[in-house]
Copies of this chain bind each other. A is one copy, B any other.
Amino acid sequence: MAASMSVTETGEFGLIARITARLGVQPSTLLGPGDDAAIVSAPDGRVVASTDVLVEGRHFRRDWSSAVDIGHRAAAANLADIAAMGAVPTALLVAFCGPPDLDVRWAEELTDGLVAEADRAGAAIVGGDVSASSVLTVAVTALGDLQGREAVLRSGARAGDVVALAGRIGYAAAGYTVLSRGFRTPKMLVEAHRRPVVPYPAGPAAAKLGATSMIDVSDGLLADAGHVATASRVGIDIDRDAFPLPDQMRDTASALGVDPYTWILAGGDDHALLATFPEGAQLPEPFRIIGTVTGGAGVTVNGKSYGDGQVGWDHFR
């Protein structure tokens, strides 16, 4: 059994060597880590790029999630943004800050999670940086390839379109509530908080089948639908009945005294893909219709405003 070793003992270059030893490549990786910069293929002459940062205590807790889980989640948050443009992820770059006494195993397992999630989406980790910091911080940049297609923006929804969702919704928020109440089960919900299951191929598939707008649900379904409504200058009506409650979610909500629809309508972090399609369009798997685009403004649920309108998550509040 290997003795535990802190990142101070390995040092910056030792840590980088241990991390890079765990990385793989993808066909798009023209030059991986080890030089001043990486080189990634961008076959159609454009690159899609997005950055998200996860901060300990704000976005994750080490007593709730393993390092591997946090790696999965940090990668998924970024890869989902690429898929939501209709692009195929190609590469990740990772800036990692950790306390000097951090066990190097933790950083290695974080890397394993990042690599495994990137691999699910077809991407490789091609570069990064490490630094000491008293706050564990993981900033990930994802790159992607539109394969010659037009990007699917938030601004293209039109009145009469259908609103469709691919991926789980409310599970991660339910898992967060479970963990914050001190429980560790139901495992399905807790695991959903730890590792989102993002339907990456559904993004490019939606683009191919004529999606008029698309967004990654990270702030909550109503909040992100609101971003589409604002950018597209339309209204969006969500059909609450489109969300049959899984038994475990219903039972857990009942046991905790929570309205499960707050998880579904206001919870983020499942990284489902929300898209609009022309009425009658063939929907790619696993998209399902959850509402309609209207000529109004803002987001309603079965024609009525929901809650107090504060349905998103603000990382400064």
Report yes or no: A133 in contact with B131, Cβ–Cβ below 8 A: no
Which residue in chain B gives the minimum CB-CB distance to A94?
A: B51
Copies in the complex: 2
A304 lies within 8 A of chain B by Cβ:
no
A39-B135 contact given A94-B51, A95-B52, A97-B53, CB 8 Å threshold? no
- A1-44: contact bitstring with B at CB < 8 Å (1 yes, 0 no)? 00000011011110100000000000000110011111111111
List which A298-317 residues lie within 8 A (CB) of chain B.
314-317
Report yes or no: A39 in contact with B146, Cβ–Cβ below 8 A: yes
- A62-92: contact bitstring with B at CB < 8 Å (1 yes, 0 no)? 0000000000000000001110110100010
Q: How far is the CA of A129 from the CA of B78 in the complex (A)?
A: 11
A315-B49 contact given A97-B55, A139-B95, CB 8 Å threshold? no
A49-B126 contact given A133-B55, A134-B134, A137-B137, CB 8 Å threshold? yes
A128 lies within 8 A of chain B by Cβ:
yes
Q: Report A30 CB to chain B, min CB distance, Å.
A: 6
Report yes or no: A51 in contact with B135, Cβ–Cβ below 8 A: no
Q: Report A262 CB to chain B, min CB distance, Å.
A: 20
Q: How many residues of A contact B (CB 8 A)?
A: 75
Report yes or no: B11 in contact with A316, Cβ–Cβ below 8 A: yes
A130 lies within 8 A of chain B by Cβ:
yes
A47-B40 contact given A53-B129, A93-B141, A95-B53, CB 8 Å threshold? yes
A41-B36 contact given A129-B53, A135-B133, CB 8 Å threshold? no
Q: Report A73 CB to chain B, min CB distance, Å.
A: 14
Q: How far is the CA of A53 from the CA of B91 in the complex (A)?
A: 18
Q: How far is the CA of A273 from the CA of B55 in the complex (A)?
A: 33
Q: Would you list 23 pairs from A and B whose C-beta atoms are within 8 A, ordered by A residue?
A: A7-B316, A8-B316, A10-B316, A12-B317, A15-B316, A34-B231, A35-B154, A35-B155, A35-B231, A36-B214, A37-B48, A49-B93, A49-B141, A51-B95, A51-B139, A53-B97, A53-B129, A55-B131, A58-B131, A95-B139, A132-B315, A133-B135, A133-B137
